Amino acid sequence: CILYGYGSYGHSIDPEFSKYIPSLLDRGYIYCIAHIRGGGENGYKWYKEGKKLNKLNTFKDYIECAEYLIKNGITSSERLVATGASAGGLLVGAVINMRPELFNVAVMGVPFVNVLSEMCDDSIPLTTEEYEEWGNPHKKEYFEYMSKYCPYKNINFKNRYPNIYIYSNINDSLVNYKVPYYYYIKIKEADVFKKGERKIYLNIKQKYGHGGSSN
C-alpha cells in the first residue's frame, strides 16, 4: 500500500489520471492519497492549520491516515510505503522520525529535509519568500518550532527506520541536491542501516531540475 502526501502551500491534490498508478494497481498495490492540513482540499482554513506554527498538524494528519489504513485492515506496517516529493519529502522525513515503525519503505523525492538550515540562510534564492509558509527562523519562536520537526535535525540513530529511497537532480534550483545528499550521509549512520537490517539508497540524476525529466 502506497500512501502519498504533500500538505503544503495550500496545494490541493485533485482527482486526475496518472499514467504511473495503473502499473502499481496491476501489481496488486493499493494507492492512497492523504489530504492533510497544509493542503487546500478543505479550504483556506485547512491550509492555515498546517503552516508556520501549526506545521506539526501536517505530520500528525499523515500519521493518522497511516494508522487508519492499518487499523481497518487495508494494509499493515510491513507493507506500507510512505512517499512524497519536495515539501512532501519533508513530510515523509519528519514522519519517519516521529513514527518510524509505521512504514516498511519511505520514498523521498527532491526532499526539503533540512528546512532549518535552509531557512536560516537568506542568501539562498526563494528563502525569504518562504517565510510565509514556514515562518522566519531569525525569530526565536519560529526557530524553536522548526527545530521540533526538521527531518535532518531530528534524526535518531536508534530509530528503527524503514527502508529508504531518496532521489534528487543535480540542477534542482528549488531544493539543492546537497540537501538530500547531506541528509543521506547523516541518516545512513543509524544503527538499523549500519547493521544491515534495513536498506537506504540515494539516486542523484546528473541532469534535470526540480521536476525531473520530461515525459
What digits encode the pLDDT tens for the residues 101-155? 999 999 999 999 999 999 999 888 778 889 999 999 999 999 999 999 999 999 9
Q: What is the pLDDT of residue 173?
A: 81
Amino acid identity of 128? T
What digits encode the pLDDT tens for the residues 21-35? 999 999 999 999 999
CA distance 118 to 124: 8
Mean pLDDT over each residue of the chain, to the nearest integer: 95
Q: Is the pLDDT of residue 213 over 80?
A: no
Query: Looking at 23, 210, 213, 214, which residue is catalytic?
Result: 210
Number of helical H runs and strand E runs in the chain: 9, 6
Q: What is the pLDDT of residue 172?
A: 82
Q: Is the pLDDT of residue 70 over 90?
A: yes
Q: What is the pLDDT of residue 215?
A: 65
Q: What is the pLDDT of residue 208?
A: 85
- What is the CB neighbour count within 10 angstroms for residue 94? 23
Active-site residue flag, 210: yes
Q: In what order do the strands lie in the sheet with 81-85?
A: 31-34, 2-5, 81-85, 105-109, 163-169, 200-205
Amino acid identity of 54? N
Amino acid identity of 188? K
Query: Looking at 8, 61, 86, 168, which residue is catalytic?
Result: 86
Q: What is the pLDDT of residue 138?
A: 94
Query: Looking at 8, 61, 168, 172, which residue is catalytic?
Result: 172
Place of cell 519562536: 141
Q: Percent helix, strand and coil across the chain, each rounded to 5? A: 40, 15, 45
Active-site residue flag, 138: no
Name the strand (E) or helix (H) holding 91.
Answer: helix 87-98
Say which residues have a Cβ less than 8 Å from residue 171's Cβ, sequence separation at least 6.
207, 208, 209
Q: What are phi and psi of 73, to 5 degrees?
A: 75, 15
Residues 36 and 12 sit within 8 Å (Cβ to Cβ): no
What digits encode the pLDDT tens for the residues 140-196? 999 999 999 999 999 999 999 999 999 999 888 888 889 999 999 999 999 999 999
Q: Is the pLDDT of residue 72 over 80?
A: yes
Q: Is the pLDDT of residue 79 over 80?
A: yes
Place of cell 504511473: 20
